[in-house]
Amino acid sequence: MSLEALARLELGALSLDAALEVATGELVVLLGPNGAGKTTLLRALAVLLPLAEGRLVLDGTVLDDPGAGIRVPTERRPVGFVFQDYLLFPHLSVLENVAFGLRARGVAKGEARERAAGWLARVGLPDRAGDRPRALSGGQAQRVALARALATGPSLLLLDEPLAALDAGARAELRRELRRHLASYEGTRLLVTHDPMEAMTMADRLVVLEQGRVSQDGTPAEVSARPRSRYVADLVGLNLFRGTAGRGRVELPGGQALVSADGGDGEVFAVVHPRAVALHRRPPEGSPRNVWQGRPELLEVVGDRVRVRVVGPAPLVAEVTPGAAAELRLADGGLVWASVKATEVTVYPA
Amino acid sequence: MRRRHRAVGPPEAAAGTRRTPAAFAVPAAVAVAFLLLPLAGLVRETPWSSIGTELASPAVRSALRLSVVCSVGALALSALVGVPLAFLLARSDFPGKHLVRALTTLPMVLPPVVGGVALLLAFGRKGIAGAWLERAFGITLPFTTLGAVLAEAFVAMPFLVIATEAGLRAMDRRFEDAAATLGAGRWTTFRRVTLPIVAPSLGAGAALCWARALGEFGATITFAGNLPGTTQTMPLAVYLALESDTDAAIALSLVLLAVSLVVLVVLRDRWFPTA
């Protein structure tokens, strides 16, 4: 019992081709850069956009299968949707907004209102029932939107960037609260975000979408330890290389090679943590197996570290202490040697 | 008015005067006078002491009553067919849509008399539609109250269609998506979401449509004639009274002016947003 989706469609410049599975009760976060097709995929799941090809099965029921001519209309899907800007109906009171779905499904007015009031109490807004949506703060509107989507008892809850419309100051608090509300709902949940912090802290499982394709899928820990794209590597702050492995070496496209203690075979990814990169003004002596030369560029100060990009045959980011940065006179430019121990290079299949 | 000026604030007002050539002040003042003087003349000539008796006279009351009936009828007819037309124009694609839209707005630029002649040729007793209506249902339109309603609707419907279509186009359609995800079918979505959200545009269009129908002259007199109690609406009565009973003409004109002002005040926030 779960969601199984294969969605293919073209929309403007975007070509979406994504397969996705979500188990019942699981909270999957769909993460990706802007324009990757996250919202498009979510809208396709709610059939607000038609699939060109693919198949969509929820709890064993086929909702969409263009090949077989099946397309259950939006209003008959057990799918709740929280829109990015919430889209609370401006002409209805908060209570009527939450009761809307129940009324549309034929629940009598009195009962619908009663149940809606119960939902408002659950999201902590029992006293705002009579207000118009425009009188609410962003965080309150988000909770009303969540209550409205959950009131109809959907088996699948879709959330499109539920925190993006809120100001940064309130976001951390509201993220905690959203996580709590989502935890109390037992259905299948799929949340879209471009905020890695939100993704890492909320997800049972992360699905990374880039240019309409799923580039990575796994728990937040797996994804951040073994990025499979430049986008994810940059998010988690790792140096990512792709090359061909053999006899303890990873040959990179530029002719450079990385020596790794991991070994590996065939097409592989290799990651190096910036803190594992040492910088020198003279060719280093001793055991480091990977040494290359490049021009240093100061990037930024993160906590007690200075991030430095070494521009050379294989660009690399290093993190050094401010003391080391001053001692090496990195701000002066010139050439530096970067070294990485073979034990610090993690290799995994591409 | 004064308060609105102050709300704009001194810096913007100063910038405004700097950009406008000073020489514009004179022709602009002429334009204002040109618009204001006729109204002032009307108010000045109004026989205030006898206006009550003028308006109470049977002929005037009959014209008033007929005007209300015909303009409300024209509005109802326009709403019945015009609102669905506005939806089709705003929401669907069909061959010849541009042509239909042009046709919709045609009565706004067409001289109403020409509209009346055209109506007569189509719905007159010998017209293509008129002959059929008479044969099939025994309905005659020219020189009847129904004919006056039809003439007014012909001229006034575009205002309702255009305003409603504009409102539908301006509306965020994702509200309808939201309604669908909550289980609302097309009809429920229309009734509970789309219609309330475009209601202000629809209301503005209806007010304009009604006001235009109320003032309709050319098409009505050409198609429906000038029969007291049957097709002689207020504008027609004003025109006729001007030759025999000036005071009645002025009194009726004043009523029409007052109605126009009320419509203007009602629509003020839509046409002249305070922002």
pLDDT digits (tens, 9 = 90+) for B127-138: 889 888 888 898
Average pLDDT over residues A21-32: 91
CB contact (8 A) between residue A104 and residue B183: yes
Is the predicted pLDDT of residue A266 greater than 90, yes or no?
no
Is the predicted pLDDT of residue A237 greater than 80, yes or no?
yes
- Non-local CB neighbours of B28 within 8 Å, separated by 6+ positions: none
B86 in A contact zone (CB under 8 Å)? no
Q: Which helix (H) or strand (E) holds B48?
A: none
Predicted model pTM: 0.78
Q: What is the pLDDT of residue B2?
A: 40
Is the predicted pLDDT of residue A165 greater than 60, yes or no?
yes
More confident residue, B270 or B259: B259
Q: How many whole angstroms separate alpha carbon B247 and alpha carbon B150?
A: 30
Probe site for chain A from B172, B182, B195, B202 (most A CB atoms < 10 A): B182
Closest approach of A132 to chain B, Cα-based (Å): 14
Q: How many CB pairs under 8 A join A and B?
A: 65
3-class DSSP assignment, residue B162: helix
Residue B1 pLDDT level (bands cut at 50, 70, 90)? very low
β-pairing, A188-193 vs A156-160, is parallel
**Residues listed for chain B:** 275
Sheet of A336-340: strand order equals A278-280, A336-340, A290-302, A305-311, A316-320
Domain boundaries, chain A: 2-233, 237-349
Q: What is the pLDDT of residue A325?
A: 85
Residue A263 pLDDT level (bands cut at 50, 70, 90)? confident
- Measured in whole angstroms, how far is the alpha carbon of residue A73 from the centre of its chain? 28
Q: How many whole angstroms separate alpha carbon B231 and alpha carbon B203?
A: 27
Residue B6 pLDDT level (bands cut at 50, 70, 90)? very low
Closest alpha carbon to A42 in A213, A149, A160: A160
B195 in A contact zone (CB under 8 Å)? no
3-class DSSP assignment, residue B187: helix
Point out the residue among A74, A92, A149 whose CB comes nearest to the CB of B180. Answer: A74
B173 in A contact zone (CB under 8 Å)? no
Q: What is the pLDDT of residue A13?
A: 87
Point out the residue among A75, A90, A103 whose CB comes nearest to the CB of B180. Answer: A75
Q: How many whole angstroms separate alpha carbon B55 and alpha carbon B255?
A: 9
Closest alpha carbon to A236 in A262, A204, A277, A199: A199
B199 → chain A, closest CA residue: A91
Q: What is the pLDDT of residue A292?
A: 83
Looking at chain A, the whole-number percentage of residues with pLDDT higher than 90 is: 33
A148 → chain B, closest CA residue: B182
3-class DSSP assignment, residue A303: coil
- Considering only CB atoms, which chain B residues are within 8 Å of A48? 177, 180-181
Is the predicted pLDDT of residue B67 greater than 50, yes or no?
yes
Q: What is the pLDDT of residue B7?
A: 42
Point out the residue among B174, B183, B197 whose CB comes nearest to the CB of A105. Answer: B183
- Considering only CB atoms, which chain B residues are within 8 Å of A50? none
B188 in A contact zone (CB under 8 Å)? yes
CATH number of B58-271: 1.10.3720.10
Q: What is the pLDDT of residue B23?
A: 86
Is the predicted pLDDT of residue B11 greater than 70, yes or no?
no
**Superfamily of domain A2-233, CATH level 4:** P-loop containing nucleotide triphosphate hydrolases (3.40.50.300)
B171 in A contact zone (CB under 8 Å)? no
Model ipTM value: 0.80
Closest alpha carbon to A29 in A235, A268, A273, A240: A235
Is the predicted pLDDT of residue A56 greater than 80, yes or no?
yes
For residue A261, count other CB atoms closer than 10 A to its CB. Answer: 13
Q: How many whole angstroms separate alpha carbon B199 and alpha carbon B201?
A: 5
Q: What is the pLDDT of residue B115?
A: 94
More confident residue, A123 or A171: A123
Is the predicted pLDDT of residue A21 greater than 60, yes or no?
yes
For residue A310, count other CB atoms closer than 10 A to its CB. Answer: 23
Phi-psi region of A240 (alpha: psi -120 to 50; beta: other; left: phi over 0): beta
CATH number of A237-349: 2.40.50.100
Is the predicted pLDDT of residue A291 greater than 50, yes or no?
yes
Tell me the β-bridge partners of A317. A309
CB contact (8 A) between residue A73 and residue B183: no
Mean pLDDT of chain A, nearest integer: 88
Probe site for chain B from A43, A45, A87, A146 (most B CB atoms < 10 A): A87
B45 in A contact zone (CB under 8 Å)? no
Closest approach of B197 to chain A, Cα-based (Å): 7
Is the predicted pLDDT of residue B58 greater than 60, yes or no?
yes
